[in-house]
Structure 1
Amino acid sequence: MIDPYLLIKWLHIVSSTILFGFGAGTAYYFWAAHRTGDARVIASVGRMVVKADWIFTGTSGVVQPVTGLLLAHLSGLDLTESWLVATYHLYALALACWLPVVALQIKAQRLAETAWREGKPLGADYRRTMRLWFILGWPAFLGLIVVFWLMIARPSLW
């Protein structure tokens, strides 16, 4: 018989790995495509990145809070412990950044697709979109790094 707690813990750990790994991986590949300046490459990589983000990052992003709250409940943790409250806020920050990042990826991919099909250079709108995408990616990335630390260290913050 499988222990429900261990199954949920396993799902939580696997989904955190997928969330962070795919988030960082897709960001890396999209940024690398952007750095080529080649609209065809950006459009092609962008299609894959957007799809991967929705399938893997999005799914694991839903699994994380569900399994996390179940683990806290099964462990008898007080849901208002400071390290947990900090994780809620950091996770919300990451989500608040990730949602527009995905929309910006879609926009950048479409702008690159249009530029490539029309044989035109990438324009100012594309560059603005990528600049905002880059800026918003950092709080999400750093927030999740801190969440990993909080999950392991479980410090009393206040």
Structure 2
Amino acid sequence: MTYFWVKWVHILSSTLLFGTGLGIAFFLWVAHRGGDARVIAATARTVVIADTCFTAPAVITQFVTGFWLVQILHLPLHVYWVRMAIVLFFVIGACWLPVLWLQVRARNLARQAADDGTPLPPAYFRVMRWWFWLGWPAFLSVIAIFWLMVMKPSGG
């Protein structure tokens, strides 16, 4: 595959990753704010499926095509913007992996409350607080990677 096609796949997968992540966050947050356990359970179910079908493959594609581009361009990994993008990629992963578990947990807690006809338990709200706060460093890191890819700063 030529540089053009690898870069094209890299850009498309970054778009898919960012868009899906932002969409997932928006819909789960809106459902959460509504407070209806049935809506939350259904939304979280869809969110978990979307992460499995779209986000996870895009993450893998980003990793593979990113390193492939570095190889094609003969860039050393210690080039500042490449090194920082790799660090931020792992920051995102360190936030995203727990978020996956938290989404499954939120779905299960909401489904149980809906099935039992009871209010959402305190554990659900703890899960969603963690989900919310882990999302911010991941989101900001994605924005920073986009900036690095466009600006390619020499850094320090």
TM-score bracket, normalised by the shorter chain, equals over 0.9
In the alignment, the residues of structure 2 paired with residue 129 and residue 118 of structure 1 have an alpha-carbon distance, to the nearest angstrom, of 19
Match of 2:38 among 37, 40, 63: 40
Match of 1:18 among 11, 16, 27: 16
* Partner in structure 2 of residue 63 of structure 1: 61
CA displacement at 1:142 relative to structure 2: 0.3
* Partner in structure 2 of residue 99 of structure 1: 97
Q: Which runs of 5+ in 2 are unaligned?
A: none
- Structure 1 segments, 4+ long, off by >4 Å, are none
Match of 2:84 among 78, 83, 86: 86
Give the letter for the 2:99 counterpart: V
Q: Which runs of 5+ in 1 are unaligned?
A: none
* Partner in structure 2 of residue 31 of structure 1: 29
* Partner in structure 2 of residue 125 of structure 1: 123
Normalising to structure 2: TM-score of the pair? Answer: 0.98
CA displacement at 1:77 relative to structure 2: 1.5
Give the letter for the 1:85 counterpart: R
Normalising to structure 1: TM-score of the pair? Answer: 0.97
* Partner in structure 2 of residue 153 of structure 1: 151
In the alignment, the residues of structure 1 paired with residue 126 and residue 89 of structure 2 have an alpha-carbon distance, to the nearest angstrom, of 26
Length, aligned pairs only: 156
In the alignment, the residues of structure 1 paired with residue 45 and residue 26 of structure 2 have an alpha-carbon distance, to the nearest angstrom, of 14
Query: What's the % identity of the aligned pairs?
Result: 49
In the alignment, the residues of structure 2 paired with residue 118 and residue 49 of structure 1 have an alpha-carbon distance, to the nearest angstrom, of 22
Give the letter for the 1:129 counterpart: V
